[in-house]
């Protein structure tokens, strides 16, 4: 097998990229080091020169995937900090960002789904890792709204979490479970409707409108 010589770090990243796609399509158990080596155009010995075990390679994939996700979160947060947006606008922009990111690259969700079925490691690290700064801003805005009385008696952390996971469910259903993703216009309609539903549920209502 002819092998193109690459610098160590470049070869390592190539192996991680190839393995990520295979793990996302076949799962940890289904993606063998032999298939990873064949797809990368290297020998298994090269794989094990960079990663002592298949588990080490999987750990590197998790680390790399989470780092890329954090970079996106940080960019979102910088925009959120720079603009004085109302809560509904924040939710809209965050929802659009999440769906657009997963539409372009559904690999992250596939990895998380396989992990949920096989060993839970990826999913656990994802939800235990540093949260999106954008989500923190939304949670803070919710807490401020509850304290001021502009919002109803809601749990800011739980409300933020359920909003985020509702978006993830949309992405899983449409970009992973479906062979044909919906038109991008459907993404926008979904986000707009979701924010309307949340806004109606969390904004405080006049006392006369509240029934026992």
Helix and strand element counts for the chain (H, E): 10, 0
Residues 73-98, buried b or exposed e (16+ Cβ, 10 A)?
beebbeebeeeeeebeebbbbbbbbb
Label each residue of 23-87 as H, E or C: HHHHHHHHCCHHHHHHHHCCCHHHHHHHCCCHHHHHHHHHHHHHHHHHHHHHHHHHHHHHCCCCH
User: Can you give the CATH number for the domain in which 6 is found?
Assistant: 1.10.10.60
Q: Report the mean per-residue pLDDT for the chain.
A: 83
Q: How many CA atoms lie within 13 A of 46 on its CB side?
A: 26
Q: Note whether 198 and 170 are same-domain residues.
A: yes
Instruction: Read off the pLDDT of residues 16-29 as tens digits, 9 standing for 90 and up.
Output: 999 988 988 888 88
Q: Note whether 190 and 106 are same-domain residues.
A: yes
pTM: 0.74
Q: Note whether 174 and 82 are same-domain residues.
A: yes
Positive or negative: CA dihedral 61, 64, 70, 75: negative
Q: Note whether 75 and 20 are same-domain residues.
A: no
Instruction: Read off the pLDDT of residues 36-80 as tens digits, 9 standing for 90 and up.
Output: 999 999 999 999 999 999 889 988 888 888 787 777 777 766 666
pLDDT of residue 24: 84
Q: Note whether 174 and 121 are same-domain residues.
A: yes
Q: Which residue has the tokens 């155009």?
A: 41
Which domain range does residue 171 map to? 63-202
Give the whole-angstrom CA distance, residue 83 versus residue 68: 24
Whether the CB-CB separation of 164 and 135 falls below 8 Å is answered with yes
User: Can you give the CATH number for the domain in which 142 is found?
Assistant: 1.10.357.10
The larger pLDDT score, comparing residue 1 to residue 173, is at 173
Question: Is residue 57 situated within a structural domain?
Answer: no
């Amino acid at each position: 097998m002819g092998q193109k010589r690459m610098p160590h770090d470049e070869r390592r990243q190539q192996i991680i990229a190839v393995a990520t796609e295979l793990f996302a399509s076949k799962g940890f158990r289904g993606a063998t080091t032999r298939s990873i080596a064949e797809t990368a155009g290297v020998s298994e010995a090269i794989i094990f020169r960079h990663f002592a075990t298949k588990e080490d390679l999987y750990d590197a994939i998790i680390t790399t995937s989470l780092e890329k996700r954090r970079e996106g979160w940080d960019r979102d947060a910088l925009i959120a900090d720079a603009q004085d947006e109302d809560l509904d606008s924040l939710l809209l922009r965050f929802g659009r960002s999440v769906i657009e990111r997963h539409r372009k690259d559904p690999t992250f969700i596939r990895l998380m789904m396989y992990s949920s079925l096989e060993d839970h490691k990826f999913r656990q690290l994802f939800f235990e890792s540093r949260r999106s700064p954008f989500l923190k801003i939304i949670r803070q805005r919710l807490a401020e709204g509850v304290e001021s009385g502009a919002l109803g008696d809601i749990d800011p952390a739980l409300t933020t979490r359920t909003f985020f996971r509702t978006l993830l469910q949309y992405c899983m259903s449409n970009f992973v479970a479906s062979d044909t993703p919906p038109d991008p216009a459907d993404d926008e309609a979904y986000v707009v409707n979701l924010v309307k539903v949340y806004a109606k549920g969390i904004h405080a209502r006049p006392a006369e409108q509240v029934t026992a």
